Amino acid sequence: MTLFQRQHAIAVITLDHPPVNSLSHALRQRIVEAVAAAQADAQIKGIVLVGNDKAFSAGADVTEMGTPKQLALPILPEVLARLESCSKPVVAAIAGVALGGGLEVALSCHARVALEGARVGLPEISLGLIPGSGGTQRLPRLVGVATGLDMILSGQPRSARQLADSGLFERVVAVDLVDAACAVALQLADAAALPRTRDRALDADLVRSHVEAARAKLNARQRLQPAYAAVLDAVAATALPFDQGLAKERELFLGLVPSRQARALRYQFKVEREAVKLPASIQGQSRPVRTIAVIGAGTMGTGIAISAIDAGLRVVLLEQDAAALERGRQRVADHYNGRADAGKIKHAVAEASLARLQPTLEWSDLALADLVIEAVFEDLAVKQEVFRKVDAHARPGAVLATNTSYLDIDAVAAVVSRPQDLLGLHFFSPANVMKLLEVVRGAQTSADVLATGMELGRTLKKLPVLCGNAFGFIGNRIYNAYRRHCEFMLEDGAWPEDVDRALTGMGFAMGPFAVADLSGLDIAWRMRKAQAATRDPRERYVAILDQLCEQGRLGRKAGAGYYSYTDGKQSAASDETVRAIIEQASAARGIVRQPLTPEQIQRRALLAMVNEAALLLAEGVAQRASDIDVVLVQGYGFPRWEGGPVFWAQQQDRAQLEQDIKGLATVVGHGFRQGDLALLLG
Ligand code: NAI
């Protein structure tokens, strides 16, 4: 194989590891060989490194991670040293993406030329790491400390167009990338000395002030993840001589690789990819979906519509009356116009998006849809009535879906003539933002229909997770167990703010009582009343929420719930009224209140989730233990860098965990079911 193509006096080295030129051992070796050959060739004055249209290089090869190939020579830092010390100019020609190690390759070249639409970034932070091959040292030297820090801390790629004046690129071009890169290489060949990023010195005071400003701005969740502080320490080292900075970066990087947080993030990365696949036991062909119909243009219906429109689908939006339809249509229009006004999308894109929306009051329009999804009120009779009409109008072969949060899918399917075509598609609010999608399998749902649900999830750029049809599916079932246990802790001695603070203190986006106030306590109250008749009186039932509701404390919207709200701002602690209700609840159960430490609260909350996870697996509601972690992280604010409840359980001392799970029996009392931990831990 030829190592490079000659373009006059320039050696053009094409990275050839499709699809995205991940930096496998073979590719690293080839780069080194090709550069050596070009260097030895007297006819050659300069070198251009180029990838394909999709990628210059997307970074490390995940398939080699943890294998001997990952560390086989030449390792990436060595490749970069060869590029940087090459006596002939090396120019990176970037189309598509240059991410992580891929961008680090480009940063080690003597110059970079990019197509306008190319995207570059250092996403290591999302895996709990920092760039480990000079990214933290070279990027700030080229683009400045502020931009460099911003890019490394956010992990978000930016377009070459955005970075055109940043100092990163010698040229940003619309066409003829390789020609432009060759021209730059020739120019450099005639220069007195090659520009090397390592030779640029940064002002030490400036570095310090930017780093400290960024440190002060880290939020609580970032402070819980050691990679953020490590980025700052590494960038602070750009004030040192280059090689010392590089050594510091390497040391920080290697320290992070085995950290709990980085392991959890790698785990999430892996299990998310598994979750979206149907198990081998379900072999189905997905049906094509180009047009969907959404019934109900409320909060969820409009969110689902936006999500589908964004994915290029056509959406028929059906409502029961003209006013509700117009409100829904307006909400979708406001979304797109707002984004266009804010400069996030072009006005033409907003118009084209809205053109894919067809609001209607005619049930016969359902015949246009390949998939019909219902998002009307959460009431079985209402949903059944809707599905009778859907059955009459949807075309044969159309997939029928319900967005119910709790109702029995089979009871919904019972009213249609084609129950095999019906499934649950449980979106999360806001449906155009949240990535989780629970794909719920009814008793008669066919494999093709499940495959279509999973495929639709991927089309909408969601994370579809298969669930069995049981009350609350995966997410709400675990969340209910968790929330119930948090209520026990109120009776046992904690205040709502103790529980919330302990859980946000370990990284939950919000505590359970702040969440309850935000969503409104009346939803749970209504559900509790509906269940009252069938509830076993021996069960431990915490009546605090009911009493709050009886006093009109329905949550944030009422100005009071577990907390009180002034101008929408939550009080730091619960007030006397709430404390009196809680104290009475403790007294009624004969409990002498004992304060709980944050660690006790966290552990009890997690134990409740873990036990429920084991039950869900035993019942077949979840296919894989790891699916539960994906659901909790994506839909319920569980800290991603802790991996999820199952991952957490796997990190614990097994004997202690088993004992603590057994101990839940005394807390929960009558009706406690103990899950089999072996299902989670192997
Ligand atoms: P919503 O009250 O905002 O919207 C419901 C809409 O359905 C209303 O616009 C109503 O006019 C319309 N509707 C009612 N009956 C209808 C009928 N027979 N034909 C046509 N349209 C009809 O309710 P939301 O919050 O959007 O919830 C809808 C469904 O989504 C419920 O089943 C709910 O459990 C579920 N869900 C809600 C989530 C949330 O956070 N709000 C999250 C996940 C699921």
Residue spans per domain, the chain: 5-256, 291-469, 476-681
| CB distance 570 to 501 below 8 Å | no
The answer, yes or no, to whether residue 618 has pLDDT greater than 60, is yes
Q: What one-character DSSP code corresponds to residue 100?
A: T
The answer, yes or no, to whether residue 304 has pLDDT greater than 60, is yes
Active-site annotation holds for 104:
yes
Q: What percent of the chain has pLDDT over 70?
A: 100
Q: Which one from 84, 124, 249, 455 is the annotated catalytic residue?
A: 124
CB distance 319 to ligand 1 below 6 Å: yes
CB atoms within 10 A of CB 602: 19
Determine the atom of ligand 1 nearest the C-alpha atom of 328. 9
Burial class (CB in 10 A: 0-12, 13-18, 19+), 455: buried
Q: What CA–CA distance (Å, rounded) separates 121 from 179?
A: 24
Top mutation candidate among 376, 426, 476 for ligand 1, by most atoms within 8 Å of CB: 376
Q: What is the pLDDT averaged over residues 448-472? A: 97
The answer, yes or no, to whether residue 380 has pLDDT greater than 90, is yes
Cβ neighbors of 324 (< 8 A, separation 6 or more) are: 297, 298
The answer, yes or no, to whether residue 2 has pLDDT greater than 80, is no
Top mutation candidate among 294, 299, 326, 636 for ligand 1, by most atoms within 8 Å of CB: 299
Residue nearest to atom 10 of ligand 1 (CA): 296
Cβ neighbors of 402 (< 8 A, separation 6 or more) are: 373, 374, 383, 387, 409, 412, 422, 423, 424, 425
Which residues are paired to 572 by β-bridges?
none
**Whats the size of the chain, residue-wise?**
682
User: Comparing C-alpha atoms, which of 246, 214, 40, 224 is closest to residue 133?
Assistant: 246
Taking the CA atoms of 625, 628, 629 and 631 in sequence, report the sign of the dihedral they define: positive
When pLDDT is cut at 50, 70 and 90, the band that residue 594 belongs to is: very high
Residue nearest to atom 28 of ligand 1 (CA): 375
Using the mean position of ligand 1's atoms as its centre, give its distance from the Cα of residue 370 in Å.
21
Active-site annotation holds for 64:
no
| Whether CATH 1.10.1040.50 fits 476-681 | yes
From residue 29, alpha-carbon distances to 23, 32, 35 in Å are 10, 5, 10
Q: What CA–CA distance (Å, rounded) separates 518 from 525?
A: 14
Q: Say whether 291-469 and 5-256 share the same fold.
A: no
- Residue 70: predicted pLDDT: 85
CB distance 405 to ligand 1 below 6 Å: yes
- Residue 71: predicted pLDDT: 86
Using the mean position of ligand 1's atoms as its centre, give its distance from the Cα of residue 315 in Å.
17
Identity of the residue numbered 113? V
Residue nearest to atom 3 of ligand 1 (CA): 298
Determine the atom of ligand 1 nearest the C-alpha atom of 327. 9
Q: What one-character DSSP code corresponds to residue 622?
A: B
Residue nearest to atom 25 of ligand 1 (CA): 299
DSSP H or E segment with residue 401: strand 399-402
Using the mean position of ligand 1's atoms as its centre, give its distance from the Cα of residue 430 in Å.
13
Q: Given the structure tokens 């009071």, which residue do they identify?
A: 560
Residue nearest to atom 35 of ligand 1 (CA): 404
Query: What SS3 state is found at 600?
Result: helix
pLDDT single digits (tens) 342-358: 999 999 999 999 999 99
Q: What is the pLDDT averaged over residues 613-635? A: 97
CB distance 390 to ligand 1 below 6 Å: no
pLDDT single digits (tens) 602-616: 999 999 999 999 999
CB distance 404 to ligand 1 below 6 Å: yes
Instruction: Name the residue with higher pLDDT: 62 or 405.
Output: 405
Domain range 5-256, its CATH number among 3.40.50.300, 3.90.226.10, 3.90.45.10, 3.40.50.510 = 3.90.226.10
Q: What one-character DSSP code corresponds to residue 564?
A: B
Q: What CA–CA distance (Å, rounded) separates 597 from 483?
A: 18
pLDDT single digits (tens) 310-340: 999 999 999 999 999 999 999 999 999 999 9
First to last CA, the chain: 48
CB distance 259 to ligand 1 below 6 Å: no
The answer, yes or no, to whether residue 66 has pLDDT greater than 80, is no
Question: Which two tokens mark 527?
Answer: 């559900």
| CB distance 68 to 110 below 8 Å | no
When pLDDT is cut at 50, 70 and 90, the band that residue 189 belongs to is: very high
CB distance 46 to ligand 1 below 6 Å: no
The answer, yes or no, to whether residue 146 has pLDDT greater than 90, is yes
Sheet of 90-94, strands arranged across: 5-7, 10-14, 46-50, 90-94, 111-115, 171-173
Residue nearest to atom 43 of ligand 1 (CA): 428
CB distance 642 to ligand 1 below 6 Å: no
Residue nearest to atom 44 of ligand 1 (CA): 405
The answer, yes or no, to whether residue 682 has pLDDT greater than 90, is no
CATH of domain 291-469: 3.40.50.720
Q: Which one from 33, 64, 84, 104 is the annotated catalytic residue?
A: 104
- Residue 579: predicted pLDDT: 98
pLDDT single digits (tens) 18-48: 999 999 999 999 999 999 999 999 999 999 9
- Residue 323: predicted pLDDT: 98
Determine the atom of ligand 1 nearest the C-alpha atom of 302. 26
Determine the atom of ligand 1 nearest the C-alpha atom of 321. 11
User: Comparing C-alpha atoms, which of 547, 378, 384, 394 is closest to residue 472?
Assistant: 378
Burial letters 211-249, b for 16+ CB under 10 A, else e: beebbeebeebbebbbbbebbbbbbbbbbbebeebbebb
The answer, yes or no, to whether residue 1 has pLDDT greater than 70, is no
Determine the atom of ligand 1 nearest the C-alpha atom of 383. 18
Mean pLDDT of the chain: 96
pLDDT single digits (tens) 482-519: 999 999 999 999 999 999 999 999 999 999 999 999 99
Determine the atom of ligand 1 nearest the C-alpha atom of 303. 26
Q: What is the pLDDT averaged over residues 557-567? A: 96
CB distance 377 to ligand 1 below 6 Å: yes
CB distance 412 to ligand 1 below 6 Å: no
Identity of the residue numbered 400? L
Using the mean position of ligand 1's atoms as its centre, give its distance from the Cα of residue 300 in Å.
6
CB atoms within 10 A of CB 381: 8
CB distance 324 to ligand 1 below 6 Å: yes
Q: What is the pLDDT averaged over residues 569-576? A: 94
pLDDT single digits (tens) 213-257: 999 999 999 999 999 999 999 999 999 999 999 999 999 999 999
From residue 420, alpha-carbon distances to 15, 416, 442, 669 in Å are 48, 9, 8, 40
Identity of the residue numbered 316? V
Using the mean position of ligand 1's atoms as its centre, give its distance from the Cα of residue 479 in Å.
21
CB distance 436 to ligand 1 below 6 Å: no
